[in-house]
Amino acid sequence: MKRVLIVTDVHKVLIEDLENLGMEVQYQPEIKKEAAMAILPEFQGLVVRTQFPIDEEFLRCGSQLEFIGRAGAGLDNIDLEYAEKRGIICLNAPEGNRDAVAEHVISLVLSLANHIPEANMEVKSGIWKREANRGFELGSKTFGIIGMGNTGMALAKKLRGFETRVLGYDKYHSGFKTDFVEEVGLEVIFAEADIISLHIPLTDETRNWVGLDFLGRFQKSIYLINTSRGEIVHTDALVSALKSGKILGAGLDVLESEKFPQASQNNWFKELIQFKSVNLTPHVAGWTKESYYKISKVLSEKIRDFYQTRA
């Protein structure tokens, strides 16, 4: 019998599905890293989010590990190189929250386009400013999506209703051109995009990729949306671009550091929150009631398929 240790909060459908596959599931969403390491030798499967790093030290304890399931999309907290060396398959579930993230991106863009957060506060304070809160329509803009995987494609599909021109770029993926997204090179994004949305993983290549040099290559002033990983954007560069007007506004669901309240004491954070044109949310783009179920369901299906192919 395969034994699976779940060290994060998941929907009960994952537990039920794994048990129906004949597996024994130990559900410990509050467990600490050291305690998990102590019992890991007993398990063939591990399900995680991002509460602690699944590094080489951790994985050395998993002498029987056959798979790691990531309840979400990003795998940046897992030492993939060492896992591969050990023959441990790593599974994730980007299909489960792609619609949630895509809708959140659109929410952030519409909030920026129509000044909704500041207008809301003004009216509640008895201030009635119409001209100052005049917005723009998405159909008048060119939307650049960087990263055309599950979420990038979901976003492109949802933008169809706004009659927005959508440009898609992906360094490692091609052949995704459809009637609702143009497949272009990065130089076209730099030349023509008005709004940028990032949908790429955090790697050594992408860490701090969006810095002053990157932002300086845009021919227009842009709106920047980041729902991927905060470390992809160099926050000091973002603040400088906001000050210069190169970035007209930003919607950020992720930050360089998300350890609050400590992160709120960083100078970059103190500067960032001074801009009315910056909308922040607490890493909840993929955090919907529906995605809570879908992520677990997708992951259970991938675990099932993994063992069926090995049979």
DSSP per-residue string spanning 105-124:
HHHHHHHHHTTHHHHHHHHH
Instruction: Indicate which residue of 3, 49, 173, 283 is catalytic.
Output: 283
Q: Is 189 in contact with 142 (CB distance < 8 Å)?
A: no
Bridge-based pairing state of the strands 195-198 and 222-226? parallel
Q: Is 15 in contact with 6 (CB distance < 8 Å)?
A: yes
- Would you state the structure tokens that stand for residue 221, as one six-digit string? 């002033």
Active site residue 118: no
Q: What is d(CA 23, CA 154) in angstroms, rounded to the nearest whole number?
A: 33
State the distance between the two ends of the chain, measured CA to CA, in whole angstroms. Answer: 14
Active site residue 173: no
Q: What is d(CA 223, CA 218) in angstroms, rounded to the nearest whole number?
A: 11
Angle at 224 between CA 220 and CA 227, to 5 degrees: 155
Q: What is d(CA 10, CA 296) in angstroms, rounded to the nearest whole number?
A: 6
- Would you state the structure tokens that stand for residue 224, as one six-digit string? 């920047």
Task: With residue 192 as reference, give the H or E element that holds it.
Answer: helix 186-192
3-class DSSP assignment, residue 24: strand
Instruction: Indicate which residue of 95, 229, 234, 256 is catalytic.
Output: 229
Q: What is d(CA 89, CA 92) in angstroms, rounded to the nearest whole number?
A: 10
Instruction: Indicate which residue of 24, 118, 192, 258 is catalytic.
Output: 258
Give me the active site residues, please.
229, 258, 283
